[in-house]
Every structure is written in C-alpha cells, then in structure tokens.
Amino acid sequence: MIKKEKTTGYLFESNNDDYEKLREEYLTLARRIGQYDYWYHSKDDPKVSDAEYDVLKRRLLTLAREYQLGSRHVLEKVGAEPSKKFEKVKHAFPMFTLSNVFSEEDVEEFLIRIKKFLNLDKEEEVDIWAEPKVDGLSCSLRYEKGNLALALTRGDKITGENVTRNIRTILDVPQKLPLNTPEIVEVRGEIYIKLTDFEKLNQKQKKEGKEPFSNPRNAAAGSVRQLDPSVTASRPLNFFAYSFGEMSEEVAKTQKDVRVKLNDWGFSLPHPVALCKSEQDLLAYYYKLLKRRLELSYEIDGAVYKVNDIKLQERLGVVSSRPRWATAHKFPAERAITLLTKIDIQVGRTGALTPVARLEPITVGGVVVSNATLHNEDEIRRKDVRVGDMVVVQRAGDVIPQIVEVLKDKRKGNPAVFEFPDHCPVCNSLAIREGDDVVLRCTGGLICEAQAVERLKHFVSRLAFDIEGLGDKIIKNFWEEGLIRSPVDIFTLEERNKSTLTPIRAKEGWGDLSEKNLFDSINNRREIELNRFIYALGIRQIGEATAKRLASRYSTLETLKKSMIAAKDHESEAYADLISIDDIGPAMADDLIGFFAEGHNLEILDGLVKHVTVKPYERQQSVKSPLTGKTVVFTGKLVKFSRQEAKARAESLGAKVAGSVSKKTDYVIAGEDSGSKLKKAQELGVTVLNEDEWLELIKG
C-alpha cells in the first residue's frame, strides 16, 4: 500500500512484503549511488566504471518509476525542494520550428525552392536526409565539459524554460558524454512517451481518480513541466536526439554525420532513416514510414526532410523561425464523424465574427475534439452546415479542427438554414464586410467588450508581453470588474491595488501569495523587446514575423511611431520606405498607418512607455561588417547567387534590403539587365556595385 506524502514523494505502510523488499533494495541502491556520486563529483575519483554506474542508476530509476519508490532520492539528486516556477533562459541558438508540406506537389516545390535559392539547375541533385517526426516536445540539452549542465524547453524559440532537474530523471538522457567530446555540446531532440507506457500511465491516472491525458504528447509535455521533479521521475519519459545546437567544435559535415556522432555518444535515435537524392526517394521513404507507423512503439506525425550538407544548410538559413533547409511532411489528417449541436459566433480582437461549431465530443487522432472552426459565413453556406447535422471533422497536427463536410443523407427532417447575424453578438454594433473581405466585422471598436478582451489576451500572450499570471479567465474577470480596461491598466494595477478597499487578495480564489505572484509576473515584463511590443499591439495583419521586420527596420519605438505618422502621406519618403520592406504591401501599410493615426492608440502608446521600457531592436547576429546598418537594393539578374540568397546574406551581415532606390540607399547591386533602379541610382549618385564588386565587399 502506498500513501502519498505532500511534496517529497511516497511513504509506505509496512504491510506489504514485496514493497518492503523493493524499498530495501531501493534505499541500499540510493545510498550506494550517493556515495559514488560523492567520489565522482567531489573527489574526482570514480569508484566504478561509467557503464556499471549506468546499470545501477537505471535500476534505481526503474524502481522509482515502476513502484513509485524513488522520489526522495531523485529529489536529493536533482536538488531538494520543488521549484516555484521555471527559470527562463535564452537559447545559445534559437530553437526553430518546421514548415509543413502535405502533398506530393508540396514536396516537389520544397526541392525546387531549395535549388532555386542555391542557384542550382532543376536537374542537379541535392542530398536530403529523411527521418521520422516524433510527436513529443522538443528539448535542448547543453553539455559543458561532458556533463549535462542545462536542459531547456523550446519556449518561444529564443528563450526556454530551465527543466534540467526534471530532464535528469529521464533514462536515455546521458548525464555524461564520453571523453574527448567538445567542451560545449548542445543536443536537440524530442521527449516522448511510448504508446504502451501511455496506456499504463492513463490507467494509473484513472485509478487515482485523476484526469487521463488526451494523448502521449500532452502527457510528455505535462510531465516535463512539473515543478516537482519527483513527479517527472515517476513518468515514463524517453528522449530521441536529432540535431545539434551550439557546438564549440565542428564534429559533423552532414546530417548523417550528426546521427553517427549522437549514436557514438550514447543517445537513442528514431528509426527508420534514409538518405534521399530525389523527390521519388523522398516519397518512397514517406510511404514506407506511413506503413510502418502503426508498428512503431511511439507516435510520429510525419517525416522530416533536411538538406544533408550542413554548409548548404547554413547558406539556406532560416526565415520566420523556420529553416529553409528542412520541412515536415505531415501524415494525412485524421477524421471522425460526430453531431453538430450548436453554432456560436466568436468575436476576435480585430472584430472578426467567426462561427464556431460545437460538437458532441469525439476523439480524432488521439485528441478529444468538441469545437471546430467554420471560418466564415460563406463557408457555412457553401457546405450547407446546419445545427443537428452529422459532420466529418478533421484534425491535422496542431491546426484547429475543421468541418470537412456534412453527411446530408443522415440529415433528419429539414433543419433551419443558419442565419448569420448582421450585428455583433456581444456589443450589438452593426457587423459589416469591408471591400471584398469574406469576414464580417463588428464596427463597435472601442465599445465592444469582446474585442477589448481579446486584444488584452493577445497583449499578454506568449509571443507578446508573455505575462503568465494573466490568464484568459483573469483578463475577462478583471475587465468585467473594471480593473483592467486597457493595456496601460495592467501596469498601474499594483499601485491602484495599494489604495483600494477591495484588494485583489481579498477576492474569491485569491490570497496574499497569488496576488504577489501576479504582480511579480507583471513586473518581470516591464522591459520588452521592440518586436514583441509591436506584435503585442495587435495591429491587423501584423504577425510575429512582420513585427520583427518592422523592429529591424525602425530599431526604436520612437522612430517607428514618427515614421508611421509621416507615412500617412502616400507621397512621402516614409511611405516609400515602409512599402519597400519585404512582405509589406499597401494593405498592410494602411493597417499600420491607420493604427498610428488613431488618437486613442497613441494615448495607449504614451501611457505604456511611462511604465514599460521598450528595448531598441538588436539584430540576432550583431555582426560587424561593411554592410552593418547600410541600406542595399538589388536589381537585375545575379549569376553566382539567387536573388533570394543574396538578400538573405546581406541581411545576415546587418544590412537592410530595400525594394526601391532612394537618397537613403547606400549600395545598389546591379546584375545583368538592370533597368530603372540602376538609372535612379545613377541620378541620385548612389554607389553602384556589380556582382563581383559586391562579393569582394562581403568577402571578409
């Protein structure tokens, strides 16, 4: 019989012989390992070989896991008390996500894009490494002088959470690397739970009256993000390695070499893999993997293709946090049939009215689905979706579930056609379509509660201000109580709370500690990078990547604001400058200019800067080069590089690449058959370089 103790693990009632024996074995082993640790770490005099130590450690962790014995020792080993929250640590190199491909044509396009970027002929072969896409959560393990020093989750890609204590409890994460590995080694991979272990874990959850996990990935993620490492230790986690982060020495020239090295260093690796030379090879691999999917002991959700040559990977680089040199070929979406019970209209932060289908809960690909998006009014009409219909629901990866079709032959009677509202269901303002936009929008603006609340949720969300303590429910609640009505209120909340008769700690569900935690989490974010700040403003069409581009172009909030106000005049240089930024077209420019033209938005900005420091944008690779801070324009056909690679290279050397020539342009790089841009450069006296001169300039 096991009785759970509060934070330190499990206690035993000694009426069970087997448990007693196991407990005895466990305690003896724990003491023995403790002594070995002491000799190894404190005396630098190992008493057993690494292999012998590993066998003992494995047995200890098996006992801990299988019989729930180990928490105390694990706690001692990983550092006493559970932590209050995870420390945030910047990754040495950002942890990227992957672009996705779904069809054979997409795979072909992926290869064409790569060859085009590298200026290769269509017929030329590029080796592509293929491996399974394991469905877990990614983790970066940093080894210093061969010892595991830090384990971080991906977090927001730039900064992760320090989960080292928890990761140390995973059996196939080596604590030490063999001798002669580089001084700094970062191994990236996926933490996952095997299918059979997942079943057992859920049975245990049920037995203990706890909610079962919806799928192995959620179970793995939940287990890693436990503040008490003893809980993590009791979960059956595994780790597969697939790539490197920061390395103090080059140890691999190809993706294949990376795998060989990881294998040599004792990491577990996913199977099967293949080195492919063509689209046909990739597809053959994909279909083989799809077939073998059910035989694998862990969940995979597709294949990952990576350019094999690491030098080529470096040339291809990364765009919007996704490497150009890799992609995930996702398995087909999973589908299921269920009843549509209701259609609700949700109002987003930009006023868009989105219909949401409420469904009788159904499991699709291991996840329980009870809502699906219906996108917009046209979509409902096109699919003729009605309340009471049986519908086919589809879910692919992390994408929001969708209604694929209505099973018309299962329709009972003649249910009413869904009437899309012409007023906002929240503030009752008129809802209209702008131009040929398919989306109906509430015109309530500032008076619409739904928009205001959604804007606040966006403002504190992970990629924006990232204020953990302000969850969706709290935002809504504080809005209703009038405590937070605008982003500025978030930062004055603590001051106001001091002089009120009804402080937050006195509210239902709150106390001194939770109030303190809330203010701590707000105060931690009083300094923010410009790109996050721009994204947080929630300007229509301005997503994470565009916010970064704007931050990179304007560097400070003051310059951005001035330039957007000046750009109101479409004839101005500020406007020309704005639309010369890659990917910013006239519609996006109008949304930006429109935002900065509204008095109440400027009031919010002015209010915010009184409480928040917006840090000037720092380029990721702040390399000093002859191009740092210069504005360059490419024109004509380059021979040695594709235009895309030339631009990417210039940007990585600190240059701003513009689409049109102005007085501010520093260099125009003119390839063959240059036209009007070259002429304009000559008129304005801008330095013009040919391809070779440009290469000479960037050579160093």
Restricting to residues 528-587, which ones interact with ligand AMP according to CB under 6 A?
Answer: none
Contact pattern for ligand AMP over residues 150 through 169, marking x by CB under 6 A: ----x---------------
Residue 453 token pair: 């609340």
| Shortest distance in whole angstroms from residue 635 CB to ligand AMP | 35
Q: Which range of residues in 102-110, 126-134, 526-534, 638-646 is near ligand AMP by CB under 6 A? A: 126-134
Closest approach, Cβ 200 to ligand AMP, in A, equals: 23
Single residue of 242, 459, 478, 694 touching ligand AMP by CB under 6 A: 242
**Least distance (Å) between residue 463 CB and ligand AMP:** 14
CA dihedral 367, 371, 373, 376 (to 10 degrees): 170
Rounded to 5 degrees, φ, ψ at 650 are -60, -40
Quickly tell me which residue has 């996990």 as its tokens: 213
Residue tagged active-site, from 57, 122, 133, 610: 133
Q: Which residue has the tokens 């069409």?
A: 541
Cβ of 545: how many Cβ atoms within 10 Å? 16
Binders of ligand AMP among 447-506, rule CB under 6 A?
Answer: none
Q: Is 133 labeled as catalytic in the residue annotation?
A: yes
Is 131 among the residues that bind ligand AMP (CB under 6 A)?
A: yes
Nearer to ligand AMP, 304 or 357 (CB): 304
The contact mask relative to ligand AMP for 282-311 (x = CB under 6 A, - = no) is ----------------------x-------
Closer CB to ligand AMP, residue 71 or residue 243?
Answer: 243
**Size of the chain, expressed as the number of residues it contains:** 700
Cis status, amide bond into 272, omega within 30 of 0: yes
Q: Give the span between the Cα atoms of 628 and 615, in whole angstroms.
A: 19
Tell which residue, 673, 648, 506, has the closest CA to residue 117.
Answer: 648
Q: CB of residue 141 vs ligand AMP: minimum separation in angstroms?
A: 13
Q: State how far Cα 483 lies from the chain centre.
A: 31
Of 65, 72, 73, 133, the one binding ligand AMP (CB under 6 A) is: 133
53-112: which residues touch ligand AMP (CB under 6 A)? 97-98
Position closest to ligand AMP via CB: 138
CA separation for the pair 11, 68 (Å, rounded): 10
DSSP assignment string, 38-107: IIIIITS--SS-HHHHHHHHHHHHHHHHHSS--HHHHHHHHTSSPPSSPPEEE-SSPPP--EEE-SHHHH
CB 367 within 8 A of CB 393: no
* Binds ligand AMP by CB under 6 A, chosen from 63, 65, 118, 138: 138
Using the minimum distance from each CB to ligand AMP, give the nearer residue, 131 or 515: 131
Which among 28-36, 104-112, 129-137, 407-415 is the span making contact with ligand AMP, rule CB under 6 A? 129-137
Selected range binding ligand AMP among 128-136, 342-350, 447-455, 570-578, rule: CB under 6 A: 128-136
Widest distance between CA atoms in the chain: 94
When the beta carbons of 263 and 500 are compared against ligand AMP, the nearer one is 263
Distance in Å, CB of 373 to ligand AMP, minimum:
18
Stretch that binds ligand AMP, among 127-135, 517-525, 646-654, 687-695 (CB under 6 A): 127-135
Region at 157 (left for phi over 0; alpha for psi -120 to 50; beta for the rest)? left
Q: Which of 126, 565 has the CB closer to ligand AMP?
A: 126
Residues numbered 369-428 forming contacts with ligand AMP, rule: CB under 6 A: 397
Using CB under 6 A, pick the residue from 134, 427, 612, 678 that binds ligand AMP: 134
Give the separation between CA 385 and CA 155, rounded to whole angstroms. 38
- Are 369 and 395 in contact by the 8 Å Cβ rule? The answer is yes
Q: Which is nearer to ligand AMP, 194 or 383 (CB)?
A: 194
Query: Binding segment for ligand AMP among 131-139, 200-208, 519-527, 592-600 (CB under 6 A)?
Result: 131-139
Helix (H, G, I), strand (E, B) or coil at 10: strand
425-433: which pairs have CB atoms within 8 A and are 24 or more residues apart?
425/345, 425/347, 425/353, 426/347, 426/450, 427/451, 431/351, 431/353
Look at residue 498 and give its three-state secondary structure.
helix
How far is 700 from 696, CA to CA, in rounded Å?
8
Smallest distance from the beta carbon of 397 to ligand AMP, in angstroms?
6
CA distance linking residue 623 with residue 660, whole number of Å: 25
SS3 content of the chain, % helix, strand, coil (to 5): 40, 25, 40
SS3 label, residue 527: strand
The answer to whether 554 and 561 are in contact (CB under 8 A) is no
H-type helices in 385-486, by residue range? 449-460, 472-480
Pick from 186, 190, 645, 651: which binds ligand AMP (CB under 6 A)? Answer: 190
Q: What mask of x and - would describe binding to ligand AMP in positions 314 to 333, judged by CB under 6 A?
A: --------------x-----
Of 154 and 386, CB closest to ligand AMP:
154
For ligand AMP, the closer of residues 243 and 644 by Cβ is 243
Q: What's the closest the beta carbon of residue 134 comes to ligand AMP, in angstroms?
A: 4
> CB of 134 within 8 A of CB of 298?
yes
Q: What string of DSSP letters covers 659-671?
A: SS--TT--EEEE-
Q: Which two tokens stand for residue 307?
A: 């350019």
Choose the binding region for ligand AMP from 132-140, 402-410, 501-509, 597-605 (rule: CB under 6 A).
132-140
How far apart CA 107 and CA 287 sit, in angstroms, is 13
Query: How many residues at the interface with ligand AMP, by CB under 6 A?
Result: 12
Smaller CB distance to ligand AMP: residue 190 or 645?
190
Pick the closer one to ligand AMP by CB: 163 or 345: 163
Closest distance to ligand AMP from the beta carbon of 255 (Å)? 9
* Least distance (Å) between residue 97 CB and ligand AMP: 3
Class of residue 689 by CB neighbours under 10 A (exposed 0-12, middle 13-18, buried 19+): middle
Residue with Cβ nearer ligand AMP (269 or 406)? 269
Active site residues: 133
Q: Which residues of the shown chain bind ligand AMP in the complex (CB under 6 A)?
A: 97-98, 131, 133-134, 138, 154, 190, 242, 304, 328, 397
